[in-house]
Structure 1
Amino acid sequence: MTDTATRVIGIMSATSAGEEHWVQLAPLGQFQGKDGRGPYAIKDRKAAEAVINATLRHHGEADIVIDYDHQSDFGARPGVGGTAPAAGWITELEARHDGLWGRVEWTDAASSKLRTREYRYLSPVFTFDQATGAIAKVLRAGLTNNPNLHLKAVASTDMSKTNTDTLVELRSILGLTDVAGMDAVVEAVRALAAKAVNAYDPAKHVPIEALERVTAQLNGVNNAGLSAEAAEIAVNSAVSGGKLPPALRDWGIALCQSDKSAFDGFVTRTGGAMAHLFETRHRAASDTSIHTATGVEAEVASQLGLAVENMKA
């Protein structure tokens, strides 16, 4: 069967002759006219693609006409006469996530009528399965101001950039191909949004206030003391490196906690001599040579009141 005016489509006003717009011809799911006809249905996107294939087979090489007030059905009658001038031509069909869409090239007259809002809505004519209401193919469509299903009109007084221009620009920005449809644009935008959200890892970032506070503490370490734990680590390192005798470990920890720079200065000045004094020396049993004291050992022996020969290793 054939039915008309069961779906209202708001038409964006055209601004120039020959302008093209994408318009929705039918939604996905069930829909019904206010006069009770229906329900009709395009179950899903796969079903919409089937409608497109059937429509293209029906029309062959011809574009799909859009007339005024369904004059192709009510005005022009075979054997009777009457006219049904075209308002535009549907040159392309597309199945999208929200329904069946068509690209329309408007005539000069229709562009003017849309721009001045003489016409605002689009109503398709289609065949359908009488038992299930499933849409089979689109025959044509008509501009109308008396739709069977009321939806908010999509009207604009400023259309300096057409839908087609916007789609071309979005394809370029997103790096999509020239044939990418609006669904591909939507998916690309969603992917970018998800990437932006996932790019932030709280485990790898710290608040700027915390960073500034830690940096200030580190920069001031030479003029202030360390914590007990940090002081112990620093002193243990000096002891294990032979720069501080074990007997001075507690003193070193206390000094590090009160003035780290003073501890560093002490280790720098005395570390070499301390390492030499506490170096373990071994002499072979057959070695009977006399030990000769170094200058440092002689000075230490003098301070301790010992004879130099008692400084033997």
Structure 2
Amino acid sequence: MNKTPLRAAIALAACSFDLQAPAEGNVITLQVTPAGQFKPRDGREMKVPAWNIDAALATAVVQRFDAKKTPPVLDYEHQTLWKEENGQPAPAAGFFRSLEWRDGEGLFAQVELTARAKQYITDGEYRYFSPVFMFDPVTGDVLDIQMGALTNNPAIDGMQALSERAAATFQLSIDPPNEEPLVNPLLLAVLAALGLAETTTEEQAIAALTAHTTDLVSLRKQLGLDDTAACSAMVAACTGLKAKAATATDPSKSVPVAVVEELKGEIAALTARLGERDQQDLEGEISAALSDGRLHKSQEQWAHDLGKANRASLSAYLSTVKPIAALSGSQTGGEPPVKDEKTGLNADELAVCTAMGITAEAFKAAKEV
């Protein structure tokens, strides 16, 4: 970013200094500033209490001067600043060759004059030197020497207009060698917050800030927050959404509740039908065994209980037991059977007892149940 414009301002110093004609040659020594704090002598309103320069500041000013490829110009009556408006030429009266700091006195310049400028000074036609310098608008510290002019009216009318013209002419550009650029700390913080480099231009920074503001308005709306909600509130809302998303069920791996309930109902109905069918099969198997003599009537309940508890065991038993003819039909041809006087059982019943290995008493007890 063109950073210096945010921390620098132009001054056309009405605190001009007397000119002394060079003793020999064309090089003249000019006092550019006094030492310490100083103000314009025309009493104009300033945005700083005073301008200021000391040895440390002067060292930086000299370094900046030495780094320039084109030496600053010395002209007449600041015509360099007026030429675009009045259309008149702006001839040079000389060029700055070097700067030096003199303790207790101020900043001085060595200027090589043109022959005409030297003659003007020698003849007393020009009596004052007026510098143009850049300064920090917060502290008033002198930052850089831009140019200077020969003048006979140090307290120039329209000085403020000249200052603005100078600012436009020099674009307040400065590139100090071997030191950090003078940048407003607040601007640096804004650039960092926007993720922009320090070399970002002012126009780019404004565009990015405008876009960022628009994004924040949209983000607040999406999060259901008030238009004035702080960034901390937006962060909290985003954190909550992230936590909710982390615990949410993946739709691709889940089944709607309605589908699950429907399946549970169908499974229950199918289970009931299978149970009914199994019961029917059990009843049929027991009935068949009673009919063909594999089971006695007294064994019916036992068969039911075993079949419900372990159907496979009942089926295995019925597959191995031999049918007893006496249990499957009548051996008397339809006539009442003759009972044994001793046991009270007829021949068929006694045959069953023998086949099953039970006593007559057990048999009669089972019949009576």
TM-score scaled by length of structure 2: 0.37
Larger Rg: 2
Structure with greater helix percent: 2
TM-score scaled by length of structure 1: 0.43
